[in-house]
Amino acid sequence: MIYPYTTPVIMNDDVFQAYGGLLADTITEMRDASYTIAEQLVSEDLETFLTYTTVTGTYFASPLVELDHMRLIQVHGVTYFDELGNVSETVSDYSRVRIYGDGDYGIVDLRQCWPCNRYIPSAQSSPCKVLIAYTAGLPPAMTFVPNFLMALTIISKVMLNEMVGFGNEAPGDIGVVRFSNQDYSEQRVALLRTVYGTSPQAALAHKLLTPYRLYRQVKL
């Protein structure tokens, strides 16, 4: 995943406090770092940006290209390179670049703008790689809602716990399967492994983001 921003774009102290976060025993730099890491983890989980973001990526030249990010909004440029790394063609008419489906899965169809042979590439006409500039991300209407902000707050608290230590059982937000002492013992239900950790908190954040999670079902 590409992270073009290093400061939080959604999370701040107001959101953090509104959804149960505590500012005590932390400093601004710690919180900003936890917010940024939380947003990056969610971006990685959802395979897209949390706000409309324009990036470029280099890919193996193919009639269908799967971009690094889903929720594709627009393609801005396509440049083909030959096996020596020289530019073989730059596409200026972006209407010839077809966004596959509705853009949710981040796939573009380049058959209408293929160099030399516009439809089916051949050994003589095929370029080696292609540089694509595009915009992808979630619209504000999907991110500034309670379940999304709650998930970001939970993950931010998990990250802060790693920095400060608020009594978590172990580093890395590990979930406890079995607990016992002299007077009591218990075994909890199996915990889900997520990009956020394996604790109940991580599982809750993962569940809150379920409506936003897509899976690339189209095989290239």
Dihedral angle over CA of 158, 159, 161, 163, nearest 10: 170
User: Which candidate, 84, 87, 56, places its Cα nearest to that of 69?
Assistant: 56
Which is nearest to 26 in space by CA: 141, 159, 175?
159
How big is the chain by its Cα radius of gyration, in Å? 22
Local confidence band at 187 (pLDDT 50, 70, 90 cut-offs): low
Which pLDDT band holds residue 85 (cuts at 50, 70, 90)? confident
pLDDT at residue number 59: 94
Q: Work out the end-to-end distance of the chain between its first and last CA atoms, rounded to an integer number of angstroms.
A: 19
Mean predicted confidence (pLDDT) in 140-159? 95
Q: Which of 29-38, 63-72, 131-140, 181-190 has the lowest mean pLDDT?
A: 181-190
pLDDT of residue 145: 96
CA 25/CA 216 separation, integer angstroms = 42
Mean pLDDT across the stretch 146-156? 97
What are the extents of the domains in the chain? 13-45+141-212, 53-137
Burial track 113-143 (b if 16+ CB lie within 10 A, e otherwise): bbbeeeeebeeeebbebbbbebbbbbeeeeb
CA distances from 218 to 65, 103, 106, 180, 214 (A): 11, 12, 10, 47, 11
d(C-alpha 180, C-alpha 17), whole Å: 34
pLDDT band at 188 (very low <50, low <70, confident <90, very high): low
Q: Give me the residues paired with residue 78 across strands.
A: 91, 132
